[in-house]
Structure 1
Amino acid sequence: MKGLLTYNPVLLAFVATLFTWFVTALGASMVFFFKSINKKILNSMLGFAAGVMIAASFWSLLNPAIEMSETTLSHPWMPALIGFLAGGTFLFLIDRILPHLHMGLSIDKAEGVKTSWQRSILLVLAITLHNIPEGLAVGVAFGALGNNPDLGTLAGAITLALGIGLQNFPEGAAVSIPLRREGFSRFKAFTYGQLSGVVEPISAVIGAFLVTAITPLLPYALSFAAGAMIFVVVEELIPESQTGGETDFSTIGVLLGFAVMMVLDVAFG
């Protein structure tokens, strides 16, 4: 692992999110084996993804941001507060502007600016919103190596990428299989499902480049990614996991996802 410290943090962020994208594709490939998915399982998957993102927001992003500021600021919570609210606001604006449609809804329920885009495109854009903060979080975590190139920082970044990848598998399946139910062919559902993860390497490179180029931005960027992820959890993942009345399964999924990510980060990060 120590040899990885010699590589450019932006390159490491890109490679790490190629891995998370690959895991999304693996999950999406489940559509070739299953035409439908039990609602209890789907809600559990979405809940698990939400739990991982909640845990990662604190253990991998907010807490390190506060620790970084303790030695330089009298109010070390300030960058975390500003970045967290800015990240949430950023996703709120994207949610209001970007045309998208959530699974199971009619096209007249599309959100964002009005458009004549096809239903399939609007569905994929809704899924893509989930992945922007995930890629950004991994990118910023690896970008921290530019300021603090030690094994602890590297281990934390790798752990975060593993956690995001872990929740991307059920998330990929939770995307492609419902698309199949919407009437898509298996191949088309898989293609759209895995394409939802392509935004992760893009946002990771942007995040890593910014924090390596502007070092004081790091605690704000970590917190920004946390705020963006929490927005996605509350606005998208938890409400979608609670549909159909199977709330117990989604709640258990959240608890398991949080526990898994917490163990990964504390034990290995």
Structure 2
Amino acid sequence: MKTQSSFAKSVDSGKLYLVPTPIGNLDDMTFRAIKILKAVDLIAAEDTRHTQQLLNHFEIENKKISFHEHNTQERIPLLVEKLKNGENIAQVSDAGMPSISDPGKELVKACIDSDIPVVPLPGANAGLTALVASGLAPQPFYFYGFLNRKKSEQVDELKDLNRLKSTFIIYESPYRLKKTLANMCEVLGESRKAVVCRELTKKFEEFNRGTLSELLKWSTENTPRGEFLIIVEGNPNDVEENNQDDFLKSMSTTEQVDYFISNGTKTNDAIKKVAKLHGVKKQEIYNIYHQI
């Protein structure tokens, strides 16, 4: 077990700040985020050119370094070394929260392993922004992110998601929106309620609410443009216990616990269910889940 006191004065290293950026509307930048970006020694940006536009708008002149999915392994040792030497670094993605469908988790893990404080800032997140305005049940919810591009693999993913009773969140490209909605109709059923959200916080923000068949028709009759999310209601029908067991056995122990939690089960109860599934004591699953 490790305990992080984010603002303890006795820490010798620098801090990694995870700074969310606006998902479209620059007015959503927080005072604290601006303050941190002006104060750190270095800004690790997914796309330095894109981030420079944000920095120019808020008159921030700090140094930048690129940190994206293609140079993660190269950059992490360099950034960790700088942090160990006492430098403070802010990590930003192009829009929204670092690590959410963006680079970041590997750097966070490396810092935790090196006892470097990781300090998250609250801010813009497209998934939650869309969820609370969707009109569908906001809790429990399951964030999935991007589905696989290949149809057969996407269909398999949707079959797994079809077992959820919780509302779930999908990110999608305008170029694949129609095909994804068609696959959803096929797997989840045409009458399943969903919301297609477009250009959140921007001038052309739009919410299209209806059944999957209605949304598919809309995507066929229009030319989708912009950044999209699909919020889908959970499956109201009970999953047969045998099928559920087969589904769960394809997951790791931790994923099994998370599955039950995503369906509204409390953590301790979820651990009990997984322990029963494996025929072991609850404490054994508890230790695995909490990495004790």
TM-score (norm 1): 0.21
Structure with bigger helix share is 1
**Comparing both chains, which one has the higher relative contact order based on Cα–Cα distances under 8 Å and sequence gaps of 6 or more?**
1
Q: Which has the larger radius of gyration?
A: 2
